[in-house]
Structure 1
Amino acid sequence: MTTDDDPKRPADETPKGRPQDQMDAAAVEMEASGHGGMSQSEIDELVASSDTGARTPAGWVGRTILIVAFCWSLFQLWIASPLPFMLEIGILNDTETRSIHLAFAMFLAYLAYPAERTPVQLVLAVAVPVIMTFLFIVGADQGQSWWILLIGAAVLAAILAGSPKDWVPPWEWALALISVFVALYIYIFYDAIAGRVGRPITQDMVVAVAGLLLLLEVTRRALGPALMIVATAFLAYTFLGPYMPDIIAHKGNSLSEVANHQWITTEGVFGIALGVSTSFVFLFVLFGALLDKAGAGNYFIQVAFSLMGHMRGGPAKAAVVSSAMTGLISGSSIANVVTTGTFTIPLMKKVGFSSEKAGAVEVASSVNGQIMPPVMGAAAFLMVEYVGIPYFDVVKHAFLPATISYIALVYIVHLEAMKANLQGLPSAYEPKPWMVRIIGIAFAIMMICILAFGIYGITNLVRGLAGDWSPYILFGLLMIAYLGLLEIASREKPLKLDDPNSEVLALPLPGPTVRSGLHFVLPIVVLVWALMVDRLSPGLSAFWATAFMIFIVLTQRPLMAIMRRINGTAESVHSIPANLRQGVNDLVDGMIAGARNMIGIGIATATAGIIVGVVSQTGVGSALADVVEALSGGNLLAILFLTAVLSLILGMGLPTTANYIVVSALLAPVIVTLGQQNGLIVPLIAVHLFVFYFGIMADVTPPVGLASFAAAAVSGGDPIKTGVVAFFYSLRTAALPFLFIFNTDLLLIDVGWVHGIFVFLTATLAMLLFAAATQGWFLTRNNILESVALLLIAFTIFRPGFWMDMVAPPWDDLPPAQLEQSLEDAQVGQPFRLMVSGLDAVGEPVEFRVEMPVPEGETGADRLAALGIETIEDGDRVIIDNVAFDSPAAEAGLDWDQEIMMVRAPAAAPSKYLMYIPAFALLALVIWWQRRRGGAGGGTAVLASA
């Protein structure tokens, strides 16, 4: 961007392109906010303290941290590559790699994260080892108290000794090195432990006690107190089960059982969560770090501003788009806020947004990045393991809600700009009418689709003709594309990120800006192609994408120097060695940054594993379901609302990965269990996305809202007000989970291409209308009736079946004696439901519903056998006599000796989409009424973006 640094301009002169009233408002805002919030060095320290560690001592200690971080990245690349199997060297199983992964994370965390010394932090730091030492003693056998006390006292003494920010004292070195040993314990003694499964010896328990205490302390340092408190509470619950209220009581566990379950096996700390962090997440974080070091982060921001900066409230729209692109590769909402916010927030304030609104836009768009595939804050890979579906399906199901949410956020920003009559930044070119731009966007999308299909066809052709040589040929074609895009980029000026606090005279031109970094898109294409087309594992896909990214980091600078020399630019060919050295430096920095970004995630997944271990060991999930059922009275919406609130509470202060692990382990089973009992039968992925969405909303919501505090630090606004405004901007994200729970079409479940496009268009329209209603502005300012009408229209478009089911119920409730006949009358593939009575896992009577597709078969008896069910009749009662192993009935949860209470057969009903007719008629009435009041001239159509 071009900036104005002219000191001769009179102080009262209005800068070009900015109305005087906006200048006055901005001046007042700057004064009120402390001149823009934190300094850049303070912002950098904020990011370091939350993501990479705030301590990088000088001298050999600092170099040790950097070298270990670099080695961690090399280790992760090694285990993800095919090289160990090709060379038959260094082949490790999953348990061994998890052990080494945690050893790296804990060592670096103790060295890189100094402990906070605030009174609250100090009290927590002392309380946790004291409480856990007492509980370990309570659960221990006689004669074990002395070494437990010794370990607890040693950890407590190291905590009280202090934790300076500028050097690493000897006691912290001791904590770091002991952490390495306890983390590597199951790797070092792998064979011995395998020979005594379930029978831990004293040595195992000593290591487990030390490991749990050290892990809880390092969690406090790296992630703050929230996750440490939650994990400590769950561990306490494990020991104190008999003393809990009856509804959540259990028999209690001994120290031997807890040590074995949490540290010696893969049920707790070294469970699935840490395994996903080891196998998948690290490589994606490393890929993002290398992409950022190569210049892609700056490129995304510049492209967003060149395309959208000139629109009404343009910087805010650009903030949304750049955060979306950054969110594709980022695993942290806080890092996303600070990375893009340091540039976008001052520019939003420049065009008239208040500090709180500017920060709130950045918070809403950055947190939204955590629900955007393909990474989803690393939660996508955890979902693969927890839900048991392919990665491709996770991305497919999560894509539509995330995209709709971002489109709605852009529209919310537009409405805010309309309400305040804000303008965009000055542009160096004449903007085209919005209809022309929409046509241009549609044409660009069409060309991208044609290009994608062309690449797909060429790839298949090469593989069909070249056989074993096809990988080499495809790599050659990729290199040609890379060199071609580099040559295009070399003809443009290098992008520079200007000072956002300087006056903007002109935005960069879209064409040159886009062309200057097209080669950054290639590694993302490689990643998405490997994941979505070739269907490689996430780990292998990330490895190949990262390997290509390493190649780009090393070669882009010298190749650009050569090409610019050929093109006749001023850069000298003698700068090629310097550019090559700079590429090597970028690679080393990227490898170190990737590892340091992973410290918190590695610690979070390990500590969250404690919670997962407690859930599996104590059965607290079913107890929590009883609590929710008692509070909700069995009302379905109340169950979902309570689960959403609990997800928000449990997610407070947790990073995205730990957040999802906790809410999915505790609350997803609650919805599944209580839903079955109350008629809600939805795919498991919908349930996991539901709790995930509300879990990450905790990053927005006061009083904890970490992302809101980070944005307020940048903007200089009030963090609580920023969080409140961001929450209202994020209402669309809070509404989506309730909608896709009842209408799984939004998750593209069993939806074809044509229907999928229809769902996308209608759902987007509905979400824009919802945004217009909640923001109080459509074509002009809404009155109460218009806002209510828009909410009603949006709900009807989202869930037309709600009204149609009242007119024509989709189910016929039949007595159980008509089971076979109803199966025979139903169409193959239709959903078929049964209400069943039986006993739950603890022997209590329970009623629940199951849903199965109607199978092939000539008669009802044939179809019943295909489902795997054998029944006997006892008067009017129908009892399940047998359920075939691995049959649809067994998968649905049916078992012998259960009683079928009711058959719900699908009924013929008119299309639910007929409800769109009255909805659109009401929308036309609202549009007509607002235009009558003057909305056409000063307002905007729903889909207008400028």
Structure 2
Amino acid sequence: MARRKFSGFSKTIIAIIAVCWSLFQLLTGSFWVFEPHLVRAIHLAFGATLILALMSPIEQEKGKKFWLGVDLILIAFNIGAAVFLVLTQDTLAERAGAPWLGDIVFGLAVTLIVLEITRRTTGNVLAIFGLVMILYTLWGPYFPGLLAHRGFTLSRVVTYLYDGMGGIYGLPLGVSATFIYMFVLYGNFLARSGVGQFFIDFVFALIGKSRSGTARTLIAANATMATISGVPVASVTSIGALIFPMMRKAGYPALFTGSLGASAAIGATITPPVMGSAAFIMSELTGISYIRIMLAAIIPAALYYLSLFVTTEARTIRMNIQAEVAERKNAWQLLKSGWYNLLPIASLIYFLGIGRSPMLSAFYSIILILVLDIVVTLAKGQGSAGLKELGKGFLSVLEKSAYESMIIMATCAAAGIITGTLSITGLAGKFSSIMMQLSGGMLLPALLLAAVASIILGMGMPIAACYIVLAVIAAPAMERMGVSTLTAHYFIFYFGNFSAITPPVAIAAYAAAGMVKENPWNLSWDAVRICLPTFLVAFSFVYGPSLLGEGAVKDIILNTATAAIGVSAMALALERWLWRRMRVWEMVVMIIGGIMAIFPDIVYSAIGIAAILIIVARLYLTSKKSGVAGVSV
């Protein structure tokens, strides 16, 4: 929706609310202990107030005073609902079976407000989904077969969503109010201190000296900047703004520039240590420590970026890109002058490694960033003027983080409605049974169903919401077929991530298309082509969890090596280039060999690698005979 513009006193009030929200989240992220229900209620009150104030309910706002008046009424109910929960928290358990009038009134108000702020921030799909689930909860007896249930009254539904910890104030909003907000703050403090620019400069200095240097830098910058962002669109816009012009100057066409940028950016969500909001939610849902999820993501992320590097090298040669961008800084000089930029990320990894919670680890790292900023400012002799500027920067980060957290907060609150209705109606368990029936109890069809569902749901929903829904309805069915909890949840998380580039709704691809002025549809399909080899990695770690770091060390090393050969072969085959252009049958053999190499079975892998080597040898020898200049990857 259109964003309202405020000035003067009104603008100041909005900024104060945003800063106070961030300060509250910093406080809850430190050593202060608050009742979870109250933290979530206050978190929602702050976020919903900002959304209702800043986001117009219609695209082209007419009758501004009328709509602003309506939103002020909604804000009053929103704040009143939080205050009511705070004041009556002690009696919440006692009135669980006999809700007060305030529970019903504020429960209905908060439910409608959550649907509305979701519509304003993420579009219609998630809001409509939430509304449909509420209607399903009310009208259960009228549905056929397995979908039927006894039905619930409106007062029962809204009080369940409002009073309990299984509805709006449930786990998704709890994660938003703790881990996610802290990491948004952490990322913005890093960006404000110049760490992001340091990483890009350093990566370009290391690997930029070649004709594919700018494209390599785009990939590597996303892999490293993922430690700051964990949000695909943010990576596209922030990194693309710096590197897309360099790639265009080097001779890369707009289509490949944008598709590679979108493909590299979605790797941000599966790359440790910060893997986006869904990873935190996964940790809370499964009870698996965040550090274990991080470790599980290392090999899939490495294979993902390996595939992108191979694709880039092959396409650079195939398109005959010759230009080399010369404006590079010296890597050693950069490291000597800016080594301290590595400390905040090193500290985060350290605190996570010694068992501190992600939230507290981010808090410690934020404090370190502030201390480093002060030390660097004083060391540069900027004195009180520099410290004053730092103070302004601190406030601007707090304000910016609040605005960036609005969408995540609304998404998680709406996800609470969906999971709450799935729980109260028992639909989650029924979906697992339906999935078992459709797949005939066989794992591969079940995985295909889950993968397709992940991509389809992700087209209209943020990755976190997509993951939450599938974690409730799809993961249990996979676990019943013998898949481990970590593997089942990581599988749907991994595939939901691809929805950011798959047509028709490909948000990361659309962002990249707008930046390079290319057709979004063509760009998203090219991004799918680039990422296709990595789609198979998810199936591979289901059949062989060694790719998630489970099992004997020798199995982990062996399966990782064969998978690396497989994704590289598929990437080359899809580009149809290695020393020369491949014939169709050569491409097909390489793809089949790549699939077999990725599959975690020593016999299949050996056959696949043998087929790959035969084609590679043939390509090399025939290119030598014809005198074609090529590339070795």
| Shorter-chain TM-score above 0.5 | yes
Partner of 2:167: 268
TM alignment of 1:698-713, pairs within 5 A: 698-713=499-514
Correspondence 1:296 to 2:195: yes
1:410 aligns with 2:359: no
- Structure 1 residues 419 and 163, CA gap change in structure 2 (3 angstroms): farther
The equivalent residue for 1:909 is none
Runs of 5+ consecutive residues of structure 1 not aligned to the other structure: 1-48, 85-90, 119-159, 428-505, 563-574, 802-912
> What does residue 178 of structure 1 align with?
77
Whole-angstrom CA distance in 1 between matches of 2:374 and 2:3? 28
Going from structure 1 to structure 2, the CA distance change for 1:648 and 1:923 (only over 3 Å counts) comes to closer
Distance 1:286 1:595 in 2: 9
Kindly provide the amino acid, as one letter, of the partner of residue 344 in structure 1.
I
Alpha-carbon separation, structure 1, partners of 2:237 and 2:325: 25
1:513 equivalent in alignment to 2:304 = no
Letter in 2 for 1:73: S
Counterpart of 2:232?
A: 333
* Cα offset, 1:287, TM superposition: 0.5
The structure carrying a bigger helix percent of its residues is 2
**Change over 3 Å in CA distance of 1:738–1:424 after alignment to 2:** farther
Task: Tell me what 1:106 maps to.
Answer: 48
Confirm or deny that 1:940 pairs with 2:623.
no
More strand by share: 1
Among 681, 702, 715, the alignment partner of 2:516 is 715
How far residue 416 of structure 1 moved from its aligned partner, in angstroms, is 1.2
Q: 2:376 aligns with which of 539, 545, 556?
A: 556
Q: Distance in 2 between matches of 1:353 and 1:376?
A: 29
The letter of the residue matching 2:9 is: W
Q: 1:98 to 1:328 in 2, by over 3 A?
A: same
| Alpha-carbon distance change, 784 to 689 in structure 1, aligned in 2, over 3 angstroms | same
One-letter amino acid of the counterpart of residue 411, structure 2: A
Q: CA deviation at 1:695?
A: 1.3
Shift in alpha-carbon separation, 1:272–1:514, aligned structure 2, 3 A? same
- Aligned-partner Cα distance in 2 for 1:344–1:116: 35
1:73 corresponds in structure 2 to: 22
Q: Give the conservation status (yes or no) of the 8 Å contact 1:341–1:711.
A: yes
State which of 530, 533, 546 in structure 2 corresponds to 1:745.
Answer: 546
Task: Provide the C-alpha distance between the structure 1 equivalents of 2:22 and 2:182, rounded to a whole number of angstroms.
Answer: 8
AA matched with 1:720: W
1:472-511 equivalences in 2 (<5 Å): 506-511=327-332
Cα 1:184–1:727 change in 2 (3 A) is: farther
Paired position in structure 2 for 1:204: 103
Deviations 1:865-915 (A, max 9, x none): xxxxxxxxxxxxxxxxxxxxxxxxxxxxxxxxxxxxxxxxxxxxxxxx355
CA distance in 1, matches of 2:401, 2:576: 43
Deviation at 1:313, TM superposition (A): 2.8
* Counterpart for residue 450 of structure 1: none
Q: Which stretch has the larger CA shift, 657-666 or 207-216? A: 657-666
Partner letter of residue 7 of structure 2? Answer: A
User: Helix, strand or coil: the match of 1:311?
Assistant: coil
CA contact (8 A) 2:38 2:86 kept: yes
Distance 1:77 1:277 in 2: 13
Query: AA paired with 1:397?
Result: A
Q: Is the 8 A contact 2:122 2:461 kept in 1?
A: yes
From 317, 327, 336, give the equivalent of 2:216: 317
Partner of 2:568: 768
Match of 2:406 in 1: 599
Counterpart residue identity of residue 12, structure 2: R
Aligned to 2:89: 190
- Tell me which structure has the larger Cα radius of gyration: 1
Q: How does 1:228-377 map to 2 (within 5 A)?
A: 228-377=127-276
For residues 122-161 of structure 1, what are the structure 2 equivalents within 5 Å? none
Structure 1 position 917, deviation (Å): 4.4
Distance change >3 Å, CA 774–CA 249, structure 1 → 2? farther
What is the one-letter code of the residue matched to 2:6?
A: P
Cα deviation for residue 606 of structure 1 reads 1.0
Q: Equivalents in 2 of 1:655, 1:620: separation in Å? A: 22
Listed as ranges, the matches of 1:645-794 within 5 Å are 645-673=452-480, 676=481, 681-752=482-553, 755-794=555-594
The 1:918/1:212 distance shift into structure 2, 3 A limit, reads closer
CA distance in 2, matches of 1:920, 1:652: 35
Q: Is the 8 A contact 2:43 2:177 kept in 1?
A: yes
Amino acid at match of 1:721: N
Structure 1 position 545 matched with structure 2 position 365: yes
8 A contact 1:312–1:418 mirrored in 2: no
Taking only aligned residues, the RMSD between alpha carbons, in angstroms, comes to: 2.3
Whole-angstrom CA distance in 2 between matches of 1:647 and 1:919: 29
**Counterparts in 2 of 1:733 and 1:516: CA distance versus 1, 3 Å:** farther
Three-state SS of the structure 2 residue aligned to 1:730 is: helix
Letter in 1 for 2:185: L
CA distance in 1, matches of 2:312, 2:542: 27
Amino acid at match of 2:348: L
Paired residue type of 1:643: A
C-alpha deviation, 1:511, in angstroms: 2.5
Partners of 2:396 and 2:477 in 1: how far apart?
Answer: 44
TM-superposed deviation, 1:81: 1.6
2:384 maps to 1:577: yes
CA contact (8 A) 2:513 2:520 kept: yes
**Shift, 1:795, TM fit:** 2.8
Task: Please give the alpha-carbon distance, in whole angstroms, between the structure 2 residues aligned to 1:766 and 1:281.
Answer: 35
Compute the TM-score of the two structures, normalised by the length of structure 1: 0.64
Structure 1 partner of 2:616: 927
Aligned-pair identity (%): 30
Q: Deviations over 1:121-144 (max 9, x none)?
A: xxxxxxxxxxxxxxxxxxxxxxxx
Runs (5+) with no aligned partner, structure 2: none
